[in-house]
Amino acid sequence: MVTSPERRYALVVPALWTCAGGLIAIYLVLFVLCAANRLAQPLEELTYGESWLLDGARQVARGGGLYAPADRLPLMQIAYTPLYYLLVAGLQRVVGDSGYTLGRLVSLFATLTGTAALASSIRRLTGRWRYGLLAAGLFLTQNLTLLLWSSQHRVDPLALGLSLVGLAFFTYSRSTTAAVFFVLAFFTKQTFVVAPIAAAITLWPCRPALLRFGAVMLGGIAGGIGLAQWLSHGWFWWHVVTTNANEPDLTTFAILMGSFLQFNGLPAITALASLLLPSVQGERIWRVYFVGTLLTLGSIAKLGASSNYWLELTAATAVLLALAAWHLTHWPAARLVAPTFVLGALLIAVPGYQATAVEVTQAIGDRLNPPTPRYLSLVSDVGAAAYRVDAGFVDFVAHQPGELLTDNSGLAVAAGKPVMYEFQIFQLLQAEGHWSEQPILDAIAARRFSLVALMHPLDGPTDGTRWSPRLRGALEAAYAPDGDQAGFWLYRPRS
């Protein structure tokens, strides 16, 4: 005979799982709406960096190369290994230039492919698709990270997707195939090395398999780097390694760690505790992967870091939570634990999803009733708010003859012009001693640019601007004010 407490227990567990599933479903609807909204904004830069990735892809699509010398114009840092640039450029040649949309589609497709691979891997380990789907749902929704990054014109989603496919192949005992995908992930973003390291540690007892895996990994990476160095005449290393070694910044670390703990603290601690549970064959790589990604969290202290630094940790956490839920089903007395923690992790993200819902609703309203005049959103150099620019001004810039110099690379990209000089990155490189600003000073002195468009006036305060005193002096000497439009101060060459 079933007692009353047992009956209540039998009702509570399914109710908690139903609530968790309902929240995941709601979050996924917002995920889809957010992605669709971004794909419908082909000229609007969402986060800093999208514009110079698109500029690099356009450069390749036009027949140019990456990793250009930094002693002549155009001066753009190609911060990542080349696969994403080459893929987007190849697609541009086939279907044409569609602004940010094509690259965002690549990112979204890579995210969904990686999600499917993750789900398949967990199904392989547990024998149940329900836990694979749980891991996939948690991966996409539990901490807002994938909502933010999965549909951006950035390298991270593609690198993550390739890594997850590699991990899935590894779970299916195909370590050599996994190594190929890990090499591709590395050549999408050079920091994606935790997954192959986790695979090598997992293979350690099986030396022949480890040697084959290592040969593919090390041979592929060494060969690719050597080829890139040769094709770029030695500039590949400068772009990808030397100029990426930004100094630590405690303010950045404090802000990002606070954000991480707010949305990821409970899931990460729960995943860490799940390491105490017994494991099955094939699960070890995910445990090592989780520990490895957790150890890399300190890299958020780097100047310029963002929440994309814990994308891999998000995937590993989702996997361990799903595996923990499966393990706990074998302990009847502990079946309440998994849905409680999963639901708690999902509820933490409610305020963020509420803000997303408001943003998406406003965007849909703007699509149905377009405002007049029409505005484009660019990335501001002050605060997190978007820099709203009249679309007519962007069209005006697009039709200006000659080259454009602007401290907002999103403006140049939206106008279909190449980014001739990335103010923020090269100002930092100059301050850190990695680069001399003489090439841009010479170009300004030669009045190379027919139009200069700046977010701050040259005769205003210099605090918060993206130019050095010498650059400002060179501009004032060679260019005269030509009024202001749409939040930009314009300058023309002096006669």
Q: Where exactly are the structural domains of the chain?
A: 4-39+100-355, 375-493
Q: Give pLDDT, residue 464.
A: 66
Q: Give pLDDT, residue 375.
A: 85
Distance (Å, whole) CA 182 – CA 420: 33
Q: What is the pLDDT along the chain (495 residues), one digit of tens a residue?
A: 445 666 666 678 888 889 999 999 999 999 999 999 999 889 999 888 899 899 999 999 999 889 999 998 999 989 999 999 999 999 999 998 889 999 999 999 999 999 999 999 999 999 999 999 999 999 999 888 999 999 999 999 999 999 999 999 999 999 999 999 999 999 999 999 999 999 999 999 888 999 999 999 999 999 999 999 999 999 999 999 988 877 777 888 888 888 888 888 899 999 999 999 888 888 999 999 999 999 999 888 887 778 889 999 999 999 999 999 999 887 877 778 888 888 888 998 888 899 888 988 888 887 778 777 788 888 887 767 778 888 899 999 999 999 999 999 999 999 999 999 998 888 888 888 888 899 999 999 999 999 999 999 998 877 767 788 889 999 999 999 999 998 899 999 998
Q: Give pLDDT, residue 371.
A: 77
Q: Give pLDDT, residue 430.
A: 85
User: How many other CB atoms are there within 10 angstroms of residue 492's CB atom?
Assistant: 15
Distance (Å, whole) CA 382 – CA 384: 7
Residue 158's alpha-carbon distances to 41, 53, 92, 112, 448, in angstroms, are 20, 13, 17, 10, 37
For the record, the structure tokens of 452 come out as 């200069």
- Residue 114 burial by Cβ neighbours in a 10 Å radius (0-12, 13-18, 19+): buried
Pick from 494, 483, 495, 491: which is nearest to 467 by CA? 491
Is the overall model pTM greater than 0.95, yes or no?
A: no
Q: Give me the amino acid identity at 490.
A: L
Task: Judge contact between 295 and 340, C-beta under 8 A.
Answer: no
For the CA atoms of the chain, what is the radius of gyration? 25
Write the DSSP assignment of 393-430 as a string of letters.
HHHHHHT--SEEEES-HHHHHHTT----B-HHHHHHHH
Q: Give pLDDT, residue 1.
A: 43
Distance (Å, whole) CA 313 – CA 310: 5
- What beta strand segments (E) does 346-472 contain? 375-379, 386-390, 403-406, 449-454
